Amino acid sequence: MTVRTPPQSGFHPDSSPVRLRLTGERKTGRRRGFLKQVHAACAALALAAFSVFAPVQAAPQPAVPIAASTPAAYVPLILFSIDGIRWDYLNRGVSPTLSALAAGGVRAERMLPSYPSITFPNHYTLVTGLYPDHHGIVANTFQDPAAPGGVFHMSSKDEAWWDEGTPLWVSAERQGLPTATEFWPGSESAIHGVRPSHWEPFNQGKRADQRVDSLLAWLDLPAERKPRFLSLYFDAVDTAGHFHGPDSEAVNTAVAATDTAIGHLIEGLKARGIAANLIVVSDHGMAAVAPDHTVWLDDVVDPAAVHVVFADAVSGVDIPETAAGHVAEAKLLAPHEHMTCWDKAKVPARLHYGTNPRVPDVVCMGEVGWLIETRAEQARRHFHLQGEHGYDNTAPEMGALFIANGPAFKAGTVIPPFPNVDVYPLMAKVLGVKAERNDGDLAGVRGALAGR
């Protein structure tokens, strides 16, 4: 099948930024007078991720648990992210390695992403234990006039964008434990002046097996340099979901290929006699989007009267201090079919969103399966998303995957749904690192730990 591939930009295909424009002064005093015709990066929904995998084959099934007989002198914690793999994809029969890890360890019925259920906010939540409202990465594209350049893109590396949170690798490094990251949002920045001991800049063209080989190479380092915490990121499942929809054969192919790469890692660990603790997560799920399921902001307000910061399943709109801006704000906050908008100060408390100054003035949440767009932005995109995320984080379609396996975890255990902020205190416990201030609760996932 021939598919037109849009240009790549930044770290990950889910940028969904829109062209930025401001008319008049913004309502938020911190940004007043800041924006003048800024263009955000186009969404990098690069189908090239499909070519990074070897042909699909049955992945080797690990022993259960994977390395129970291995000496425990060196037991690293490895965090995998499979971007966009929904909790129920495990039931499709195309991921024998993941299924074996789940059967021999712990899996959650599903994990609840943080709101908005999009990539950068949730990846940073997983390693900080903070809701996006608290760690400051409030969307894949957003603005802050106090930060360099004023506009955050997924390629932004300046510490000022990231320093409202402290990732686990920073705490571990400070406490004397070497770390390594093979692609993770924030890992290319010196956050609070600290980088992982080993890291690589994001390269979407790097095949999944090559990413695994980089991680295995770090495990072969001398003892004093060998990382105790490692992270690994895969993006093809998410790309397939956006282009073809969550129920497509393309998604199944991407899941199977990613599973094969993880099987390669398991075999590498066995060959090295390493009894690792593994945690497999995703940042969000995926919902199908029909071609006619779009709420056009142009039909609600005059686009020239407001400043649309980001859009798609969730939209953030800044309101200028003008008469036209106030009229537009009232129209947005009125009831709509397939879309609910709030003043940022009145976003429901359960979403934990709206207090950070980086959150735009009005937050609009689409009904699951609907997009919120402007016609001008859709014309620039040149393609229709068949799958999207960013919706209500409690929606089943947004549910994420959680699997844990290794000496620290129980075997054959299923735990109830829990919020993804709880992953951070769990990892800190397993790693033996003193946790930073966070929004998680170890009690919610304590049932995953062996001996508990």
Q: Assess contact for 47 and 386: CB atoms under 8 A.
A: no
pLDDT value of residue 386: 97
Cβ-based neighbours of 330, under 8 Å, separated by 6 or more: none
Helices and strands (H, E) in the chain, number of each type:
11, 20
Please write the tens of the pLDDT for every residue from 400-415.
Answer: 999 999 999 999 999 9
Please write the tens of the pLDDT for every residue from 417-440.
Answer: 999 999 999 999 999 999 999 999
Cα separation, 169 vs 357, in Å, equals: 26
- Residue carrying structure tokens 């007989």: 69
pLDDT value of residue 452: 66
- Angle (CA) 152 143 32, round 5°: 150
- Please report which confidence band the pLDDT of residue 289 belongs to, taking 50, 70 and 90 as the band edges: very high
Q: Which helix (H) or strand (E) holds 209?
A: helix 208-219
Residue 129 has pLDDT above 90, yes or no: yes
Please write the tens of the pLDDT for every residue from 328-383.
Answer: 999 999 999 999 999 999 999 999 999 999 999 999 999 999 999 999 888 888 78
- Please report which confidence band the pLDDT of residue 204 belongs to, taking 50, 70 and 90 as the band edges: confident
Please write the tens of the pLDDT for every residue from 135-168.
Answer: 999 999 999 999 999 999 888 788 899 999 999 9
Active site residue 119: yes
Q: Assess contact for 34 and 235: CB atoms under 8 A.
A: no
pLDDT value of residue 246: 98
Q: In Å, what is the CA distance from 447 to each residue of 406, 410, 433?
A: 14, 8, 19
Which of 70, 97, 119, 166 is catalytic? The answer is: 119
Residue 57 has pLDDT above 50, yes or no: no
Give residue limits of the domains in the chain.
1-452
DSSP characters over 217-240: HHHTS-TTT--SEEEEEE-HHHHH
Q: Which fold has domain 1-452?
A: Alkaline Phosphatase, subunit A (3.40.720)
